[in-house]
Structure 1
Amino acid sequence: MTTTFTCYTATTGRILRQLRADRRTVAMLVLVPTLLLALVYFVYHDTPSMPGMPTLFDRVGISLLGILPFIVMFLITAIAMQRERSSGTLERLMTTPLSKLDLLAGYGSAFSLAATVQAGLACLVAFWLLGMQSAGSVWLVLLIAVLDAVLGVALGLLASAFARTEFQAVQFMPLIVGPQLFLCGLLVPRGQLPRWLEVISDVLPLSYAVDALQQVSRYTGTTGLMWRDLGIVAVFAVVALALGAATLRRRTA
């Protein structure tokens, strides 16, 4: 047990040190979702809204607080993990007492810490600088945004297990992220989708993340539906991490 914990913390620390040394990656992790959210604000800034009703930016922006961290963390994690493979670092780590689950858990923890900073900055800018309004607590929005980012980390680690190059890791993005982005309810409410697309949407984790954010935007307190949706997102993240560990393989080129 002690060895497992030591391996886990050592992996987490190593990834955090690598991130700190890579300023461009840190900048992308932390700033890109916030900058894109600000862009959306200016796109909808002059769009009229009904008195007493949420603005279009409020309705779209709160969903993007979950979607953008998910996309960025998926992309960064998949590429970073594939880089470990191509550099031979993963091969060397596999000869140590470090287990596959320790490795992926360490990656997940390190990137989840980065995701917390990322989501915190995005929420800070959205609510205090851009004037986003939500009936529910900002802290609930932050919780969901962080969980969405963690989901992106877990799916990125899983996708990296099937890629042989960094370019292939990027190619998984439209395959895994694209359908979720189109069917999560951002473009069209899920209830208005054709039935067969709604069924597909029901098995995609990002749909539940967006639903949870919409619950927070409409209600002043927590709801059972919100907690159910968050539980589903968390289960997807855990399952993706477990599958990533199961499919992680040593390459003998």
Structure 2
Amino acid sequence: MIALSTAGRILRQLRHDRRTVALLLVVPSVLLALLYFMYSDAPRTFDRVALVMLGIFPFTIMFLVTSIAMLRERTSGTLERLLTTPLRKTDLLFGYGLAFSLAAAVQGAVATGVAYWLLGLDTTTNTGLVLLIAVVDAVLGVALGLLCSAFARTEFQAVQFLPVVVVPQILLCGLFVPRGQMAGWLQAISDALPLTYAVEALTRADADATMWRDLVIVAGAALVALILAAATLRRRTA
């Protein structure tokens, strides 16, 4: 109940933050539209890239928003006050995870709807499965953002984790170069990155055992990141 109450508080804060709402709901759709016009002469390329981006955009945006939001809780003293109550670190972290997971579900639904019904995205993957994978991927971004925020003292430092944690996963997930064509050591690194499995799940045509295995790996990585975030969360930033 404490975690649910925390999630409700965070959702109320989000509702009054119009810029964050715009970042969550509008920006992914605008970026997909940009891709549509970039590949207007190559619809098959758009279908391939846009499908992967339906997983990458939520992951990246939720990582950025969550890490900064949690850091603000600490720097403003809110976290210090909350932890003097019966609220535990796990309640706080899982409350954040639940709140931003709901926001991610709305974000994924809007982006997927725009991609399929406005931009004409044509894929062999079931639309419902694409939405599910995008939401789980966004939850992974939330969990990693909460974990990284524990090691930042300022918002600028929180943003610096983006090229360290997010960008390598985007480069090695198979979007730019098929993983089978990478050097062996790069493939090994790629195998250890959870975003790789999200992209693999997105690009599979059928909901087979391999796709569900990939999805479970992504969800498991998110859960582990949340647990580690609770273990490393500090009460003070200085």
For normalisation by structure 1, the TM-score amounts to 0.92
Number of matched pairs:
238
Alpha-carbon distance between aligned partners in 2 of 1:222 and 1:251, rounded to the nearest angstrom = 45
Distance 1:234 1:252, change over 3 A: closer
Residue type matched to 2:30 in 1?
L
The equivalent of 1:167 in structure 2 is 156
Alpha-carbon distance between aligned partners in 2 of 1:183 and 1:136, rounded to the nearest angstrom = 22
For normalisation by structure 2, the TM-score amounts to 0.98
Is 2:17 the partner of 1:28? no
Report the alpha carbon displacement of residue 136 of structure 1 after superposing the two structures with TM: 2.5
The equivalent of 2:195 in structure 1 is 206
**Deviation string, structure 1 residues 14-64 (Cα, Å, up to 9, x no partner):** 1001001101111101111111111011101113x7xxxxx0001111000
2:74–2:237 contact (8 Å) kept in structure 1: no
Residue type matched to 1:21 in 2?
H
Is 2:227 the partner of 1:242? yes
Percent identical pairs in the alignment equals 66
2:75–2:237 contact (8 Å) kept in structure 1: no
The equivalent of 2:211 in structure 1 is 226
The equivalent of 1:147 in structure 2 is 136
Alpha-carbon distance between aligned partners in 1 of 2:127 and 2:133, rounded to the nearest angstrom = 10
Alignment of 1:1-253 (within 5 A): 5=1, 7-47=2-42, 55-215=44-204, 219=205, 221-251=206-236, 253=238
**Deviation string, structure 1 residues 63-97 (Cα, Å, up to 9, x no partner):** 00000000000000000000111100011111111
Alpha-carbon distance between aligned partners in 2 of 1:143 and 1:80, rounded to the nearest angstrom = 24
User: Structure 1 runs of 4+ off > 6 angstroms?
Assistant: none
Q: Cα RMSD over matched residues?
A: 1.0
2:125–2:202 contact (8 Å) kept in structure 1: no
**Secondary structure of the equivalent of 2:203?**
helix
**Secondary structure of the equivalent of 1:110?**
helix
- Between structure 1 and structure 2, the one with the greater Rg is 1
Q: Structure 1 unaligned runs (5+)?
A: 50-54
**Deviation string, structure 1 residues 93-142 (Cα, Å, up to 9, x no partner):** 11111010000000011111110010000000101111111113100000
Q: Structure 2 unaligned runs (5+)?
A: none
Alpha-carbon distance between aligned partners in 2 of 1:252 and 1:46, rounded to the nearest angstrom = 51
Distance 1:40 1:239, change over 3 A: same
2:169–2:193 contact (8 Å) kept in structure 1: yes
